[in-house]
Amino acid sequence: MMIYDTIIVGAGSAGSVLASRLTEQRGKSVLLLEAGPDYENEDKIPDQIKYGVRPWYESHDPLSHTWGYQAIATPSRPEPFLLPRGKVTGGSSAINGQVWFRGIPEDFDEWEAAGNSGWSYLKVLPYFRKSEADLDFPGDDFHGSRGPIPVRRYVENDLLPSPRAFLDACFAAGYPRTEDMNHPDSTGVGFYPLNRIDGIRMSTALTYLETARNRLNLTLRSDVLVNKVLLEGDKAVGVEVVSEGKVFEVFSNLIILCGGAINSPQLLMLSGIGPAEHLSTMGIEAVVDLPGVGQNLRDHPAVFMHYESRIPHPELVPPLQVGMRYTTPGSEFRNDMQMRPIHIRTEHIPLDYQITEGSVPTGFSIALQKALSKGEIRLKTSDPALQPILRYRYLNHPYDLERMRGAVRLCAEISAMPEYQRAEMSRISPGDEIIENDERLDQWLFDNVLTQHHSSGTCKMGPGSDYLAVVNESCEVHGVENLMVVDASVMPDVVRSNTNATTIMIAEKIADSLSAHQNNTI
């Protein structure tokens, strides 16, 4: 019976990084398991994955390359919404909007202050730099120049009418210009850093995994569903998987879950690791009682303000080019809001929205970056093939609702400025009668709030004294030997930015730690 040194569950943003870095040591065997398909080279990648001009969904098949998750946004809105998470090598990095945006220093300093030694901004900065090759800011103190992920920004001449007018209107309103949105002191309006080069989405599958794919010590298996982690007492020894309709057991000295903020806590609970009372209702014996598994579900609550443009938008231009991060007046949280013009695609248009003939649907995305509301994940059944219950509870905290209300009104003001009018846009929703009334606006927010695609926090990193902590500062599961979680689920709180770059940083940092430990034991 073969026993792998490491089994990695999930070939996404984190799993591909770990597989690549850990197999740099030739004597260490790694099995990488992916539930979705694998495309062996760039030529075989479907256009939707390769080019990334319509992120998250394919127009002809909204469930393609995703898990097909459905989630509840608020308790007052029981109808579910589609929550796309990547089910393909590269994971969500293969279907996302390609925004290479870091959290701000305060995010990581808060992680360390919560008892996670080594996760301050200064400690994680080397791993951000290690992961990237920033083509606009090569090799300075804050950016990398030799990492696997290439990064560049749009320039003025590349901008669509709405982003160009948005920049001018924000400057006229007094918001500062930021040349580099990944600078630690960045705030204001600027060009998004994007991991999209020459029209190609540079996912972890095309970067990290591509460099490791032919190594003899890496075994990649796609279209494999992991049912549970195999335990001997409180020690992880392998995984149970389903492949081509058959059930197998595979064994390893170390199991690393990289399934993301939904799949990783689901898999822990299916394995008997989680809230004992909840597991018992599912008929699952609790091997390790960890109340925090599936709790602390974080995201950036987002609404899309819908406009129509009389200027055609090129189909091959990605939807995101520029944005603004700013601090809500009076907020103690710096850069707690993000606003950006967006070329609206299928996933943003409400089902009851009728496009006016001759007009182009477009608008703005507004997202709260430091939400106080928290959701949860719970099992619906003990069947691994069925999705868990996802309750996000967006805007449940009054301060979240207050800040989103102000952001919608600010966006309406900016889009009404003379500097923005040359974009030839007209606002459709919300109308003035909604924006001017607190009660109506609150209802519109509850009716329209959705995900910004940054689910995190459900296997929270923290010390053993933290009741809701699932992993320690080394991403080792509390109370279980030889089991780790390394993905966005370990974030104690979601960072004030898109999450892909931070997830990759986490994987780089843990890979470095594991490699150093292995070298010391040789």
Active site residues: 454
The dihedral of CA 149, 24, 31, 384: what is its sign? Answer: negative
Of 461, 503, 458, 456, give the one whose Cα is nearest residue 116: 461
Q: Phi first, then psi: give them for residue 91, nearest 5 degrees.
A: 55, -140
Q: Is the peptide bond before 62 cis (omega within 30 degrees of 0)?
A: no
Q: What six digits make up the tokens of 209?
A: 């995994």
Residue among 298, 320, 312, 250 at smallest CA distance from 455: 298
First to last CA, the chain: 23
CA distance 522 to 512: 16
For residue 153, which amino acid is it? R
Q: Which residues contact 517 (CB under 8 A, 6 or more apart)?
A: none
d(CA 174, CA 153): 23
Please state, as a whole number, how many other Cβ atoms lie within 10 Å of the Cβ of residue 343.
23
Buried b (16+ CB within 10 A) or exposed e, 172-201: eeebeebebbbbeebbbbbbbbbbbbeebb
Q: Which residue from 451, 463, 461, 462 is spatially nearest to 499, judged by alpha carbons?
A: 451
